[in-house]
Structure formats: structure tokens, C-alpha cells
Amino acid sequence: MSAIAQRWRLPRLLPHAPTPTAGAIALGAFTVAIAGLAAGRSPKLVVLAAVAGALVVLTLHWLLWASVVFIFITFPTVLPGWLGIGSTVAKPLGFLLIAAWALNLLQTHGRAFLLRDRPLLAWLLVAYAAWASASLAWTVDAGRTTYGVQRLIPVVLLTFVIYTVASNRRQLLALIWTWAVTAGFWAAYALATGTSVAGARLTGGLNDPNYLASQLVFAVLVTGFLLGTTRRLGLRALLVILLVVDMTAFVQTESRGGIIGLGVALTAAVAIAGKTRGSVLALVAVLIAVVVGYVGVVAPAQLRHRVTTFSASQSSGRSDSWHIAELIWQNNPALGVGLGGYQVAQVDYVSTIQVQFVGQILYDRLVAHNTYLETLSELGAIGVLLLGGGIGIAFLDAGRSLRETARREDDEVDANIVRGLIAGSAGMLVAFFFVSAEYEKPLWIAIALLAATRPALARRAADPH
């Protein structure tokens, strides 16, 4: 195992493999005996236990590859039933990853640490999580706020984990490739199985086509710019295939918010393309031609009508949710109504405005369908400033990294890595104006990757490729 780790330079968590003790050997023998007995009753249980054990070992020894597995497995909200491991494993894998990261920091000195390297960003994120937790003191529903805090803190910590993992160029690039391949794989699976909602809109196991579209925006831009980081024919062919699959799935989501996000992402890509602007313009033209051609010629009339109609009456109640979120904030400008409180507080505003979908508000208690308005209504101006400040600092770090890498006359590879992250993140964050994504992992992973670009790429001399 050490030879493999040395060959591939896998980042080991523990500096040395632990020496087996008599107790460990006895425990192993006992485990094997129990597994043998269980195999006669439930072979499936033994297989799942073995997989779980392998994941534990993987996480404790190689934090990078544990992060790769985590991103891949937790991309869909609901895993395919044929896997037989439940609807999702995001929570147990996430907690395991965070625990391994904490142990990593304790046992390995000098590793990238967000609180030390980027203190302003780190403290903004800590303050945001602390402010959300403190909203228990004034929330309209303590139960929902407690549940929200339990969801929020792990994903905020995920930012710290991913930043540490992306500590050098190789590991940063590994995580970016992971996202590109993961999105393409699950998009292909969704297209093959027809995973959809409300008729034909593709969801890809995310329960909401708008979530899938926002994540595909990020994937498309990252994948597109990865084409400029390799000359290997096989890898370039793979990236083109991933782009085709991503765009096919993207169109099938019929997401208007996704289209707006993609438009912003493509505009940003052209704006920051630098020396690669000609190639980027050509690729953007192809993507636009494919989308317009499909929508205008091939797509069913229902899809064509949906993606070309933007109005309050066609928003499925989203405009009502936005209006209510604004009213809640106006009545609670500084503090909001507490994390998760929007779903409770919205009922009090049904009679004050003209609402198209009263039943959705009274009985379904839907979210605000806007990450930023929901945060504004629940955590007030303070919460939005903390979250927006963290996002802004991450973009500033990535912008500085782009300027530094673009100065390297002989190499555009690193610059393309940063360009993909900036353009993809910008598009995804714009798409989040149409979904409530403050608990979604891609938001926090994107923040971490943006912040990690400058220190990771600055170590290129010490990390040859």
C-alpha cells in the first residue's frame, strides 16, 4: 500500500500505518467470525458492511480520494434504489470526511487551513454559521431552526475540508475533474433512466430540475475550460462527450433559471478568456447553436413554450414566494425570522397580497425558491452580508489567482483552471436566484475551490505535473 501511495502521491492522513496490536488482531478475528455468521443470513448486509469499512479506511488514509468518493456519491439527492444503500449517504460520509479532516489537521503540520490562510473568508463563514445558530433566540419555529442548523454547519465545514484537500495544483485539478466526470455520469444516468418530475423535466435524482440545471451550469463551464488544460486526445474526447451529455441533460431540465445562469456563465467565460478568447468564443457559439437549434427545431412544443416564456403567471408561484420573502424581511430587517423560519412565517402574509397559488403556501409550506431572498428573510441583512461577503472574498481570491497565472506567458493551463471555476461558479450562483440552495454542497464546494486556486497554483513549482 505504501508503494502505491508513493507512486501516485496519494495524500495520506496518517504518516505511518498503525502497527497491529493483539487487541486489533482479536477484533479483526471477531469481526471475520461475525461476518461469516451474517453471510449465511444476509450476504447483502456483509457486502454493505465491507463497503462501509473500506470507505472508513479510505477516508482515514487518503483524504483526497475520500473527497472524490464523497462528491461522486452525494451528487444526487436520491441514489438509485438498485444500489441498496438507502436514498442517500451524504450525512454519514460527510461526518466521516469532516472527522478525518480534523484528525488530519491534528496529526499533520503545515497543511492548508482556511482559518490560517484566508482568515477573513474563514471568519465570515464561521460568523454566518454562528449567526444562523444564534437565530434560535428569535426564531418563529425552534424546531425548524434546529433542523436548519444541523444541515448548515456540516456544509459550511465542508468548505474548510475541500480547501485543505485542494492544497496544491494536482489535488485542485483532481477535484475539478471529479466534478466534471461526476456531473456527466449522473446526467447520463438520468437521461438513460428518464429520471424526471412533472412529466418530462429531468431531475437526475436531485428532486428538482432547477437544482440539476444549476449544477450542470457549473459542470459545463468547468469541463469546457478543462479542454484547454490537456493535449491528450483521449482526455479531450472524454471532455467533449461530457459536454454533450451535460448540455443534453441541461436542456431536458427545462429550467429558465438555468438558462439565465448559463447565459451569465458564458458571458463571464468570454470576458475573462484572455488569450484563449478565440477558442472560447467558438465553443460558446457551438453550445448556443446546439441549445437554440434543439429548442427551436427538435424540442416538443411544451418545452419550447416553457423556456421562452418568462412571466409571473408562468413562475409556478415563485414570484409570490419572492414577494412574501421581501415582506418578511421588511418587517424583520436586521434579524429575520430565524433559520428555516420562512416556511412558517409565509402563512401570515397570504391575506396581505394577491397570491396565485394559495394552497402551496398554506399546505405545502414551500421554500422561497431564491437562495438570497430566503437568507434575507430568515437571517436578515446581517445574514446576507455574511454569506455574500464570503462569496465575494472567494471570487476576489480567484480573480487575483487569474491575474497571476495569466502573467505566465508560456502557459495558459493554470489560467484556464481558474477561468472555468470563476465562470462556472458565477453562472451557478446566478441560477441560485431561482432555487433555495443555501444547504446545497455545490455552493460551499465552489467557495472552497475559488479560495484555493491562488495558494494551490502558487505551489506549482513544488508540485510538478
Q: What is the mean pLDDT of residues 165-184?
A: 94
Instruction: State the Cα–Cα distance between residues 28 and 33, nearest whole angstrom.
Output: 9
Would you say residue 23 has pLDDT above 60?
no
Predicted pLDDT of residue 119: 94
Predicted pLDDT of residue 274: 83
Phi, psi values for residue 92, rounded to 5°:
-65, -40
* Domain boundary assignment for the chain: 2-15+23-104, 112-314+366-462
Higher local confidence (pLDDT), 112 or 298: 112
Q: How many CB atoms lie within 10 A of CB 225?
A: 29
The burial of 119, by beta-carbon neighbours within 10 Å (0-12 exposed, 13-18 middle, 19 or more buried), is given as: exposed
**pLDDT one-digit tens code per residue, 286-334:** 878 877 777 677 666 666 666 666 554 444 557 778 888 999 999 999 9
Percentage of residues in the chain with pLDDT exceeding 90? 43
Model confidence at 461, pLDDT cuts 50, 70, 90, reads: very low
Lowest model confidence (mean pLDDT) among 2-6, 279-283, 406-410: 2-6
Would you say residue 20 has pLDDT above 50?
no
Query: In sequence order, what E strands does 185-326 have?
Result: 196-197, 201-202
Grouping H, G, I as helix, E, B as strand and the rest as coil, residue 408 is coil
The burial of 340, by beta-carbon neighbours within 10 Å (0-12 exposed, 13-18 middle, 19 or more buried), is given as: buried
Predicted pLDDT of residue 62: 80
Phi-psi region of 342 (alpha: psi -120 to 50; beta: other; left: phi over 0): alpha
Which grid coordinates belong to 455? 495558494
- The amino acid that residue 118 corresponds to is R
Predicted pLDDT of residue 43: 57
In whole numbers, what is the pLDDT of the chain averaged over residues? Answer: 80
Instruction: State the Cα–Cα distance between residues 386 and 381, nearest whole angstrom.
Output: 9
**pLDDT one-digit tens code per residue, 55-111:** 566 666 688 888 998 899 888 876 665 555 555 677 888 888 888 888 878 776 667
Cβ neighbours of residue 375 under 8 Å, at least 6 residues apart? 336, 383, 384, 387, 438
Predicted pLDDT of residue 363: 52
The CA dihedral of 438, 73, 60, 46, to the nearest 10 degrees, is 130
Model confidence at 183, pLDDT cuts 50, 70, 90, reads: very high
Predicted pLDDT of residue 98: 87
Model confidence at 9, pLDDT cuts 50, 70, 90, reads: very low
Q: What distance separates the 2 farthest-apart alpha carbons in the chain?
A: 72
Model confidence at 192, pLDDT cuts 50, 70, 90, reads: confident
Strands 201-202 and 196-197: antiparallel
DSSP 351: G
How many Cα neighbours within 13 Å face the side chain of 121? 27
**pLDDT one-digit tens code per residue, 424-456:** 999 999 999 999 999 999 999 999 999 999 999
Residue whose grid cell is 487575483: 400
Paired with 197 in beta bridges are 201
Would you say residue 4 has pLDDT above 70?
no
Higher local confidence (pLDDT), 313 or 417: 417
Q: What is the mean pLDDT of residues 156-162?
A: 95
Higher local confidence (pLDDT), 452 or 205: 452
Model confidence at 3, pLDDT cuts 50, 70, 90, reads: very low
**pLDDT one-digit tens code per residue, 398-408:** 999 999 888 77
Predicted pLDDT of residue 18: 40
The CA dihedral of 219, 220, 222, 224, to the nearest 10 degrees, is 150
CB 260 within 8 A of CB 431: yes
Model confidence at 409, pLDDT cuts 50, 70, 90, reads: low
Grouping H, G, I as helix, E, B as strand and the rest as coil, residue 339 is coil
